[in-house]
Structure 1
Amino acid sequence: MLQTKFYIPMTRPPEPTVGLRTGFIPRPHLIDRLNQGLAGKLTLISAPAGFGKTTLVSHWLEQVDRPVAWLALDQDDNDLARFLRYLIAALQTVHPIVGTEVLALLQSSPLPPGRTLLTLLINDLMAVSAKSLLVLDDYHLIDTAAIDQALTYFIEHLPPTLHLVLTSRADPNLPLARLRANRQMSELRSADLRFTPPETAQFLVQMTGLSLAPAEVEALDRRTEGWIAGLQMAALSLGQRQTEAVTQFIEAFSGSHHYIMDYLVDEVLHQQPVEIQTFLLYTAILDRLCGPLCEAILRGTESLDNGRDISPAPARPDAARAPAILAYLEQANLFIVPLDQQRHWYRYHPLFADLLRHRLHQTYPAQLATLHLSASQWYEQAGLMDAAVQHALAAQLFSRAAALVEQVASAMIQRSELTRLLTWLDLLPVEVIEAQPLLGLYYCWGLFLSGQIEPAVTRLEAIEARLEADDTHQTADVQAHAAAMRAYLMRETGDLASTITLSRQALAHLPRQDSLLGAMVALNLVIAHYLQGDFEPASQLLTQIIATGQSAHLMANTLSAIYLNAQLLRAQGHLQQALQLCHDGLALVARHGWHNSPAVGFLYVVLGDLLRETNDLTPAADYLAKGIDLGQAGGHPHILIAGHVWLARLRQTQGDVAGSQAAVRVAQQLEQQYKVSRFWPLPSAANDQVRLWIAHGNLAAANRWAQASGLNRVDTPITYLDEAAYLTLARLRLAEGDVEAAEPLLRRLYQAAAAAKRNGSLIEILVLQALTLAGQKRGEKAVSTLAQALGLAEPEAFTRIFLDEGAPIAELLRRAVAQGQHAPYALHLLNALGETTTAPQPLIEPLSERELEVLRRVAAGYSNKEIAEELVVTVSTVKRHISNIYGKLEAASRTQAVAKARELKLL
């Protein structure tokens, strides 16, 4: 970062300097206006160049009893990520703790929406009790709508302790009328900033040392209309003249500001030694100047012919004298402004610089490329790559510019500075980019991550075709980036096998230092494995991604990996591990202060659904709400889709039919709006919509879905990607009473899940199989199948997977209790269903299915003979069953046996 951008220009030197005429004029009436404006949100100082905007604000700040954050803007700041990074850095000069979370988010790709980032920054500023000022100088250099919109939002929600000051040559694209109407803005314009005649007189005396006649002062004031830059240039020219020539000079110029300044620049330059004239013109290409940089510029011209000069006696400046010349320019007050207290960095007044550049183009057009090349080389060696690229482009040295951009492109993608990267690349000729495949691939990433998918695909295909035709550029980096890019596109189309192959190729060739791309590729590989149901390699990779992401501070990737790993663990039946992982994630969020970051929404929504499964409905609702809020703030469709599907399930659990339907409808709309493919690790809104139809008896709608789904083919292997849809189809067949159709579906599902050791899936499949068996009147088998599900569920506290089946599962749970099949957990589930208010002690030895049949008939008042006839057994067999029942229930009579059975919910 350029630290000079945070330096508040001084209106006068810190110590008296011999021979330095500052021409500084105190303006107390304007200072009063600025002080009064502190009651609002915004102070706007809008006037053309040369009206003293920056000087006035700097002088005011010397008197304000508030800490000040200053940011001098330039054209390179027309990138939202870069703008916010510098904005936060400026604020941190007075409030070091603000914006740290936003800076972390600025490392993510794609960049979260500006409103999200600013909301986090505003929240940080709200926690600061001390009043402060933020000055954005030269805002007219910003011409990006995204930044205007972000600043509008920032102003609308500005904390009362912070006041914003903008200086600009033109009115910014902000809601000024509304701010003005609400008395939230004060403003100073050119009419306010013009020197009054007394101020003009005082200024000219200080600048020239001449005693001008009132008429001469009035003439200068009238011709310049109090325009400070014009008066300063006139004073510089007057200071070199004899008294008798003053009147003649004053009468010699008139006209527009541009004409006057052009005339005066010519006058001022001619009064300087030729060495100084040439120095001014050569260094006019620079936005910021320092001695070593100016020295490099001058040395770069030593091998060139001078060409035509502006004076009859050309003289090239001695490069070694560059620092001394800068000191002279400041002493002569030649429109040069120090940018730090050490007087190391300077800049020309913008208007003066514009005029010098115009003169340079007229005078030395053949040397422009050499000047820019020298600047680019010096900036590259100094590690200031942005300026190095800009000067290479200005010199039209496109191969050099391309090589520089290639060096910084990865870091720019990590910082989400996609706008500036794409702007630079758009300025390069096609043939230059084609000659550098890696640069072309960075172009593809910039387009892809900024949502321009089709142009990214077109460019990638062209690069791949060129590489196939000519493999001389097939470096490891090129192979890695091409494979990574293609892997992402393959997953979007559902080609998971190719995604895995290409991702592995990319990881094998990626350089170690490219941590962001490595994490992105690894996560893409994990998703492909996960969707295929290959949990073991996915789990190993996720552990690595989470560890690497924490050490490299890749927040979004780390939280996405935790979200995915929690779902994987749940599918494997490790519900408690999934919960612990999420709680560890919450500790990580707290440790890094990420609470309000949009990516945390992934963690919140998955934790909400895990808690719903354990029947902890209140915290589940809280986490889902927080996750959805963050998803909305961040405009993150994946968080919102998952959050609303799981919210629909929660509301259904709570009996809120309308709420559940509304939530799943939102999820479906988001899927359509963002064209989210099914190849993302998200719960399907369509599946949950069908489950709601089934639950509410709308079997006709559910059947229309089934007919369109293409899931009925028995010869199609059931993949993990389709598992949820097949489970929904099985539920539909059960709801229709078609247990014979449900049974083979569930058998195929069981085989696939058992082979992959997906115990979480097996629990749900076994529950549905138990209900199917009950529907087939195979009660003994139904209870034993349910017992398998209970055995897998009990250690992990799976709960809603049973309770959501309602009354049909209650009967099977009662039988499980009676038979001693995981009776404590079955009783726990019955309690949760509201089937019993106490937990009676289960039988030491459970009743058999035949004994339960006999018991039910005893309770109905059947005689032994009637029971024998109905069950087609002998009376002695019935008596033996009744004797066993008495023993197991510790009863002495039929009445006691029936009472004890009712207590145990066996009847």
Structure 2
Amino acid sequence: MSSIERGYGVARILRQPLITLLDHSEQFPLTLLIAPAGSGKSTLLHHWEALYPTRRIVRLALDERDNDPPRFFRRLAEALRGVMPGFDITWYDPFLKEFRPSGSSIAESMADAFDRIDGGLHLVLDDFQHIAAPSIIEVFTTMLEHPPARLHVVLATRNYPTFPLTRIKLADKLLVIDSHDLKVTIEEVHHLNIGLGGQALSAENADHVLAMTEGWLTGVKIALLAALESGQQALQGFSGNQAEVVEYFGHVVLKGLPDSLRQLFLQSSIFEYFDGAICDEVLQRSGSALLLEDVAARELFMLPVEGRPGWFRYHALLHDFLQNRLKIEQPDLIEDLHRRAARYFLAHEDEDQALRHAERSGDQALFTSTLERCFDEWIRYGHFGRILKWSDQLPEELIHGNYDLAAPLICGLTLSRRFHHARYYLDELKLNLEPPTSGRYADAYTCTFLELHLQLFQHDTDFFQDADLELLLQSSGHRDIRAFSLAMIAYYHLQHARLDLALQLATQARTVLQKLGHHFLASYAGLIIALSHRQNNCLLEAMQCVEAPFEDTPRLTPSWTLWATGKLVILYEQNRLDEARLLCEELLPLVNAASATEVIATVYLTLSRLQHHFGEFVSARRLLDKLSNILKLGNYERFVSQVAHESMRQAVDLCDEPRIAALAEQFNLAEVVRQAADKVPDYSECRERYGLAAVYWLTHQGQFAEAGALLDSLISELNRAGIRNRALVSEANLLVLKARDQSGADRMKALKALLSRFDLYSVSRGIFDEAPGLSELFRDACQSGLLRPPEAYLERFQSIIEQAQASAPTPTDPRSLLTNRELEIFNCLLRGLANADISRQTGTSLTTTKWHLKNIYSKLGVSNRTEAVLKMSPNLTFVP
């Protein structure tokens, strides 16, 4: 027997930080100690139990036989009685021939028994991965939904238990200690080495041991034991091919295996992970699944792949060892194995593995054709990151001139906002004067399409004006290019608010793209349809467009990201803010990775508005700042104007004077006001968004006449363009602005006139948010009985109206609430004076004026000057 075998498993280290972490189980109903075999779970439990001898711990080591419910519950009852002789175990009847009561009834009886005990109890079940019997799982499911107060369950397992953990997680009642926590540290490597009798390790050697073993405790022991025999110099070259490791694996893994199983070990080492089916087909054998089960049962360093039942991988050290043995024993077989593996993985839609095996086969033609097929597949599903990852590893000469690689790459770079890289590859492609005559993207107009595609997404509405998009539809003989172009033209019309055209073309594009299998771009066309409906104030149609695809598309895929973006817009407009926020937070990392700017801007702006609503003002502002930095990558004036609009809306809502002034200067809002009277032929979203930002600014400064004139100009332009959703926003702002000088009856008359021009359900959450003060007018109309919205509408927007009621009750005479000084300042506010003018008028400093205004708002139950004006009884003017 070798010294490695003699020393294996004898050295144990006391891992105090892990013991301390495990002791936190006292605070949780359930603790999961989850890690692969050989990670030190059982040793940790032994040490923890030994360090706390006064704690009541019932520990049960499980094996495959315990998956039988009668045996499991019998052993559990015996263990509980062994520690607590008086423990009630009437839930278990050993005299029943078959122990088959329902899991829920057992759980209820057990929970009752645990509730009756004095003091706490830790129930520790080791190797719980062996338990899968439905009745046992049902017991734990039921009991942990309402865990007994005195019971703390600790499960040591190699995989997650099959009972649901969601509720326990959400209730913060679950402690998880996983393989990451159990990884050996540098200090523990040194202590373990000393315990094995080794000499002190250098930092470099200790780091190398950790890197090679991935912190796996058993692997660390093997490495250190190998160093005991051959010296520490062996650690620098330590791998699965090390002589000591070869000796160990030769004895522990290969020695004594039948030839069929030995061949399976050697040949399957070409895989990163594998199952029985792939071994049968690629290795050209049969019965592999049963052999793999046999190997797994022996725990011969073959580890299950998490989340993929029946799939396995070798530990890195064993993997190295087996690959080296294969090269020695069967070198002529390796290339054929990789060729067959490439074809297998490609047929089973595992493109990354297919490419790796094609590359390792040494067959350049196979590798190139596999790349072309994978790039085409990834562009269809929107997996741009995978295209970019592989292109970064390729020699550039392989891409240049290859249309079937370059075209998907350029599209992926464009939609991932890597515009300079896209330009580089496009210019290189143009050097090929003659396009290829065969291939997926062989067409005379491919370069023209890629040029327009890049320009459109890089420059947004500044897309060069002489671009003849129709040329691609009429001239290109390539069906994919025609379909792509149809979607591009639809997006172009959406950008310019030609909504009917955008709807018509996007609907056609989606139909064609779906038939061609371009799922991502079909979803993008669907998002254009939803956004067009929203702009047209047709929220029902937008919802119907989004709802089914959102539910049917696999979650977290690129296509789902597009549908989810449309979904969150609908949720927000429907005032389902908690749901919208959760979806936004789920989308944020996905759109950051790779997504078109339209999607990024929508998610960022919506989440910022939601954060502001929930009082997270700093987070909301930071999100807008981050979006501004993203927009610097291209020429995105339309999106910048949306940021300006939302930033000013939030600043005015907070009465943040320094930020209001900074934003007005940054976006040159004085010039926006000056140009408002200019007649323009076409609608521009930029002018509208900057215009609304200027309206907020002017209103805050008390320049109501100027704000009204600007709104009149915006409404005229929006009505000419037929953009009802945005026209309603401006008209609602004008309604609120005029209400300050109107009697209650006139206010109600004006509101009813607005609702006669627009459907009531068009007044959605976005309208209330972008027209501050509108909710107060709705409240007054509902209270007076002049407006009787349907019950469904009241239920949907109840929070907005109730908030208005809470913050702005019936008009109040401020003389009953304010001091004389506050009345003087408030009278100036009613006259429309800005804060600086109020300071000069009253002889107070600007800081003192702001302080008084803050007190005034608080006493009146409002948050800004617009709400304060609306709070007043009509035409009430007073002198203190």
Q: Which has the higher contact order (CA 8 A, sep 6+)?
A: 1
Larger radius of gyration: 1
TM-score by length of 1: 0.47
Q: What TM-score does the superposition give when structure 2 sets the normalisation length?
A: 0.49
